[in-house]
Structure 1
Amino acid sequence: MSMRLQGRKAVVTGAASGIGAAVAARLAADGAQVFTADIQGEVDFVADLTGTDANTRLVAKANARMGGLDIVVPCAGISTFHPLEGHDDAYFQRVLDVNLIAVFRLVREAAAHLKAHGAGRIVTIGSTTSTYGDEGLCAYSASKHAVLGLTKSIAAELGPFGVTATCVQPGAIDTPMTAPAFDQMPEYRTFWEGKAPLRRLGKPEDIADVVAFLCSEDARFVSGHGLWVDGGAMVRH
């Protein structure tokens, strides 16, 4: 690993497992100081980030611990299959709260710190469903479309302060969140493995490596768009 993030100070949410854990580990391996958060697990800050003041407290604690903040990677997210009929309001709202509203609140609270740094990085986690959609994923797809739009607006607003904002759009990734679906529907795993020209599901590390690049000085002129990390699956959509 390089040390291209030496001296950088990062907050990563959803960091107890899956993509978030891989991102936190990769940023740290590249030299960053990383403050982790999740609803449970071995992290620096344990909280449900959908709480109205949770992200305010998170940013304050991260800043107090590290003495600054210049990278924000909100990885916390939820998704399960729900047909449109029987898709109740409470579930839809919960997905939006976790996947979108908490991301917005974290970035809003961190913005002043990122602007002060002058070379801040925001990397959100969208999905291929940020561009397309899929059956049984109304709430998830809506939330991830919104995350991509939010990221573009953030890039426009914070760009004059030297802050970049990009959205990584994973395809089918083998994580604790997706494992139940793949286990219950082996044909779903087979479909996505076959759909990707690289002939496999993604790993959390595949996403983490791209996030680390986007957080680095190498990506200093990359901002305001989504980047598919899907093994080429969407070329066959």
Structure 2
Amino acid sequence: MASDRLAGRKAIVTGAGSGIGAAVVQRLKADGAQVFTADVAGAVDFAADLTGDGANADLVARAVAAMGGLDTLVPCAGISAFHPLEGHDDAYFRRVIEVNLIAVFRLVRDAVPHLKAAGNGRIVTIGSTTSSHGDEGLCAYSASKHAVLGFTKSAAAELGPLGVTVNCVQPGAIATPMTAPAFTDMPEFRTFWENKAPLRRLGQPQDIADVIAFLCSDDARFMSGHGVWVDGGAMVRH
């Protein structure tokens, strides 16, 4: 349900072209925030590969110029695919780390002066249930998401004195364009996760976006450094 609890907030959302990122943009705007969107392509405010040198600094500069400031970051851009460890090539592992971790680090680093000036900054990173656990065929993805959670905790410790909260949302099995091939091509995989979750369904991008909106709001003003699982209860049975 829309509200005005984010009125006055000025946010960057990456990975905004589809999936969780698109849902986050919709929810933040519905709650009154200004949102500057980024993705590799599509109808966004800033279309670029954010793994490129200087890309995140450019994104921050353009967002600040467009909105007159910046106090909220939600880096949603990410990639994943199944790759068995045997025969796993270096290039794919490196690409996953660049997109899922290094681009997040650079965005947060480059935004710190503006978040500091705001005095009430919010950062919400996107981890995964694999930030805390592992799974077959997901060595690169799990490594990147473990690192995102660790980065979140350290950033929370460092930025807290500046008035900035930093939390990590850890989605479970969510139906998005990125996960669609797995759930379509491997129906047993979909059934496994539907049955594993006590709520007996896959998550939807809106399920994640609603939690992110809460973490961006003043309602979450005393939460920082946490990984928040949004998984339909699936991991209580891990």
TM-score range, shorter chain: over 0.9
Query: Matches of 1:131 and 1:204 in 2, distance apart?
Result: 21
Please say if 1:230 is aligned against 2:231: yes
Give the match's secondary structure for 1:79: coil
Q: Structure 2 matches for 1:144-155, cutoff 5 A?
A: 144-155=145-156
- Which TM-score applies when normalising by structure 2? 0.99
Query: Matches of 2:25 and 2:112 in 1, distance apart?
Result: 20
Letter paired with 1:228: W
What is aligned with 1:21? 22
Shift of 1:225: 1.1
Shift of 1:211: 0.1
What is aligned with 2:83? 82
Give the match's secondary structure for 2:161: helix
Please say if 1:54 is aligned against 2:21: no
Displaced runs of 4+ in structure 1, greater than 4 A? none
What is aligned with 2:7? 6
What is aligned with 2:73? 72
Give the match's secondary structure for 1:228: strand
Give the match's secondary structure for 2:136: coil
Give the match's secondary structure for 1:227: strand
Give the match's secondary structure for 2:74: strand
Query: Matches of 1:202 and 1:42 in 2, distance apart?
Result: 25
Letter paired with 1:180: P
Query: Matches of 2:50 and 2:208 in 1, distance apart?
Result: 22
What is aligned with 2:41? 40
Query: Matches of 2:111 and 2:212 in 1, distance apart?
Result: 18
Shift of 1:138: 0.1
Cα-Cα RMSD: 0.3
Shift of 1:86: 1.1
Shift of 1:117: 0.4
Which consecutive residues of structure 1, in runs of 5 or more, have no partner in the other structure? none
Seq. identity, %:
80
What is aligned with 1:31? 32
Aligned residues: 237
What is aligned with 1:116? 117
Shift of 1:106: 0.2
Please say if 1:202 is aligned against 2:230: no
What is aligned with 1:221? 222
Give the match's secondary structure for 2:35: strand
Query: Matches of 1:139 and 1:162 in 2, distance apart?
Result: 33
What is aligned with 2:93? 92
Give the match's secondary structure for 1:199: coil
What is aligned with 1:160? 161
- Which TM-score applies when normalising by structure 1? 1.00
Q: Structure 2 matches for 1:118-133, cutoff 5 A?
A: 118-133=119-134
Which consecutive residues of structure 2, in runs of 5 or more, have no partner in the other structure? none
Shift of 1:83: 0.1
